[in-house]
Amino acid sequence: MAKWERRAPCRFTNTVEVQGALTYKKKVLTKTANYTCTAADSGAILSVDPAGTTLIQLPAAASNAGWNITITVSEADGGTMDNKVNIGALTGEFFDGVIWCSDGGGDSKANGTSHDFIKVSTDSQSGLRFDIHSDGTRMICNGFAVDASDTMFADAAG
C-alpha cells in the first residue's frame, strides 16, 4: 500500500480530466450573535439567524484584496426578521455595489464614499443574500432583498 504524504498545492497548465465525481463544498458558518469575520473566512457562506440585534463586522478591505463571502440573513420561522442585522465595513472603508430590490424607496445603491453599513431591519423579509468581496480599497456588495426601504446601505448601523 502506498503511503500518502502532504505536498505543496499543484498547478495545472493543461487540461485536467476527472473520472468520477469531483465535489467541492463551501464552508458554512452559522451565527446568531455578533461576529467578526477573519481572513480565513474568505470563500465561506455566513448564515445569520439573529437572536438579537447583531453586527457582522467585515475584515479590512485594504489588506484583503480578493477576500469574499456570501452572507444570508434568515429567520427560522420565515416571514419578516425578528431582529436587526448590521453588516459593517471597517471604519474609513466603504461599500460599493447594489442591493437588488423589487420595491421600496431606500438606498439600494452604495455611494462608495460614506456607506459603511448594510442595515437589515425588522421589516426585512427573511432570506436575504449578500455577495461581498474586497477590491483592496472597499467592499463590493451585490445583494438581493424584497424592499429597499427595509434593507439598505447606510452611514450608520440601525
Per-residue pLDDT of the chain (158 residues; tens, 9 = 90+): 456 566 666 677 778 787 888 777 889 999 999 999 999 999 999 999 999 999 999 999 998 999 999 999 999 888 899 999 999 999 999 999 999 988 866 668 999 899 999 999 999 999 999 999 999 999 999 999 999 999 999 999 98
pLDDT given at position 78? 85
pLDDT given at position 6? 61
C-alpha distances (whole Å) from 138 to each of 6, 49, 93 are 36, 26, 5
Q: DSSP character for 91? A: T
Going from N- to C-terminal start, the domains of the chain cover 28-154
Task: Report the alpha-carbon distance of residue 34 to residue 45 in Å, rounded.
Answer: 16
| CA dihedral angle for residue 56, residue 60, residue 66, residue 69, rounded to 10 degrees | 0
If 0-12 CB within 10 Å is exposed, 13-18 middle and 19+ buried, where does residue 123 land?
A: middle
